[in-house]
Amino acid sequence: MKRLLCIICAVILLNILCVPCFADQSNIVGTQEDNVGFIDVKSSPAASSKNTLPFEIDAVSAILIEASSGKVLLEKNADEKLYPASITKIMTMLLVAEAIDCAKITLEDKVTASANACSKGGSQIWLEEGETMTVHELFKAVAVGSANDAATALGEYVSGSETSFVSAMNERAKQLGMTNTHFDNPTGLDDTTDTHLTTARDIAIMSRELLKHQFIEEYTTIWMDTLRNGETELVNTNKLVRFYSGTTGLKTGTTSKAGHCVSASARRDGLNLIAVVLGSKDGTRRFEAAKSMLTWGFSNHTLLQPQINPELITGVTVWYGEKNTIIPQVPEIAPILVLKGKEGEVTSEINITGDVEAPVEKGQTLGTIKFIFEGKAIAEYNLVSPCDVRRLTFINSVMRILRFLATGAVES
């Protein structure tokens, strides 16, 4: 009887005395934040005339971004609406790539050229109405030779008509946050339009999205190739593919309205950069402008892989839970873009919640990790619960007390 009385008293005390004292969680962020210190490519500055280039280039508008994070490293009039010429085909290739990756179409599919596709002027592979080519062949013609007829044929195949495909282009641009873009066709031909416009910033956004499709570089890095069993020769319009180390693409464009344009991507030592140049006076100057921006980016920046000491990730007390403590889970930490020579100045700050009340859900935020550079947070991640922790029931509480009285062991 005396032992039963002790148990009842213990249960009462458990519910009276175990009043949780919770840490202030108002500073916990729910998602990873963008690096502070660089502007995100989707964040348009107030003034479109902003120029942060430390050197002169021949271009009306330009931007340099780091591809994995979207951070803007340099810009010049990046939000000025301009004609993009065949750089338009980056969006065309993106929609085709997405159709391939979701198995809507395949590279082996055969496409029959329509009269509409064959009527396009400018760069072309001279498709004849009724001629059949595979998606692979047409895609290569677009990526390497900037063929307008091939781009139109692919758009018609993906969406059923050129009009429907252009609607899809504009819808995808809206989804990507390309707020200053409107497409009138899948080619970039602008002799009959005054509304086919975009910006260097928006081109950087869609270029970054296209490069997420791994197979793209298999096409955009081709220097020379052929179609029709060697009868039609393709030479890449992007001369950087041959003459600039690390080039991974991406697309050129030229019309009298647009001038000479290029979206150039390159990779060195794991660092991926995209330089967009619009409105140069000639082809040589656009490539020189892109090279200058890319070289500056590679010379001044590097990727740092932060390391976290697991001993600093301490347990969190769980009140009224089937587990007394849980160790927060550290997420996968992405490399951080930093200035060369400053790697040692990046520090980490770990904040862990003092305690929580059950139930706890898997993935629930239990703290944060911040990476600090020059007093500012350049990246932030949540520490989360690795599992669910259910709340103790009355029966569970009694059983736990009985086990404690019997063994003297405290459950973790």
Please tell me the distance from the alpha carbon of residue 110 to that of residue 135, in angstroms, as a whole number: 6
Helix (H) or strand (E) holding 247: strand 247-255
Please tell me the distance from the alpha carbon of residue 261 to that of residue 258, in angstroms, as a whole number: 7
**Helices in 65-125 by DSSP H: which ranges?**
89-101, 115-118
Q: Which two tokens stand for residue 107?
A: 């590279």
> 146, 280, 292, 385: which is the annotated catalytic residue?
146
Which residues, 6 or more positions from 291, have their beta carbon under 8 angstroms from its beta carbon?
240, 244, 264
Helix pair 135-145, 89-101: axis angle to 10 deg: 150
| Nearest alpha carbon to residue 34 among 272, 385, 371 | 371
Active site residue 89: yes
Please tell me the distance from the alpha carbon of residue 362 to that of residue 382, in angstroms, as a whole number: 13
User: DSSP secondary-structure letter at 281?
Assistant: S
Active site residue 69: no
> 71, 76, 89, 140: which is the annotated catalytic residue?
89
User: Which residues, in sequence order, are bridge partners of residue 379?
Assistant: 371
Please tell me the distance from the alpha carbon of residue 160 to that of residue 406, in angstroms, as a whole number: 75
Please tell me the distance from the alpha carbon of residue 33 to that of residue 250, in angstroms, as a whole number: 28
Cα radius of gyration (the chain): 29
At 63 the three-state DSSP class reads: strand
User: 18, 318 in Cβ contact below 8 A?
Assistant: no
**Residue 264: C-alpha distances to residues 80, 151, 332, 381 (Å):** 19, 20, 29, 31
User: Which residues, in sequence order, are bridge partners of residue 62?
Assistant: 76, 277
Q: Which two tokens stand for residue 302?
A: 């590097």
Active site residue 146: yes
Please tell me the distance from the alpha carbon of residue 237 to that of residue 251, in angstroms, as a whole number: 8
User: 280, 263 in Cβ contact below 8 A?
Assistant: no
Phi, psi (rounded to 5 degrees) for 310: -60, -20
> 61, 86, 123, 265: which is the annotated catalytic residue?
86
- Is the bond into 359 cis (omega within 30 degrees of 0)? yes
Active site residues per annotation: 86, 89, 146
